[in-house]
Amino acid sequence: MNYYGAKDLADGLRTVRKNTLIMAEEIPEDRYGFRAAPETRTVAHILTHIAVGQRMPEQIHAIERRTTLEAFDFPGLMRSIVAEEQRPRSKAQIIALLRDEGERWAKWLESQSDDFLAERVKFPAGMTPPSKTRFEMLLSTKEHEMHHRGQLMLIERMLGIVPHLTRQMQERMAAVSTSSTR
């Protein structure tokens, strides 16, 4: 029995993407060129990276439906993804890309069967572990976005913005504090 399936994967991704979209909206467009340190991505590049981040697992699992990563052209695919990240876009275009790509990916995820998610994909010789389930590999797309969203939360603070999740927690704490003093 699988307690966390394709619909849960898609719902989790939608929740994470909803929060990423709120952050993308809250950061002013004139700060999209902000870079936290030399040789790091700008806000625009981080958001675009998140938007196109599922293209590698999409190629592996949806398009090619690979059962092994032997001879997979990682460098070629990475070059195309990086080129996509570097394309100039306005804030509105980046937000649309985040919304559209996220929903397209979530719809594909929720359409997968438990049997498909349980399939193992073999890694190239010498890698540890030697294989992973598709489920574990696909779950990593959400984890990847959350990693970059953590970067964006720190950037928001550097820009003087209190992240929305922090504000929501502060509001809940204030409400609890107010109700307990009554």
Chain centroid, CA 110 distance in Å: 16
For residue 2, what pLDDT is reported? 64
For residue 1, what pLDDT is reported? 54
Q: Beta partners for 131?
A: 122
For residue 178, what pLDDT is reported? 84
Domains of the chain, by residue range, sit at 6-180
CATH architecture of the domain 6-180 equals: Up-down Bundle (1.20)
For residue 132, what pLDDT is reported? 97
Q: Give the separation between CA 98 and CA 40, rounded to whole angstroms.
A: 20
3-class secondary structure, 181: coil
Q: Which residues contact 60 (CB under 8 A, 6 or more apart)?
A: 66, 69, 72, 121, 137
Q: What is the pLDDT along the chain (182 residues), one digit of tens a residue?
A: 568 999 999 999 999 999 999 999 999 999 999 999 999 999 999 999 999 999 999 999 999 999 999 999 999 999 999 999 999 999 999 999 999 999 999 999 999 999 999 999 999 999 999 999 999 999 999 999 999 999 999 999 999 999 999 999 999 999 998 877 76
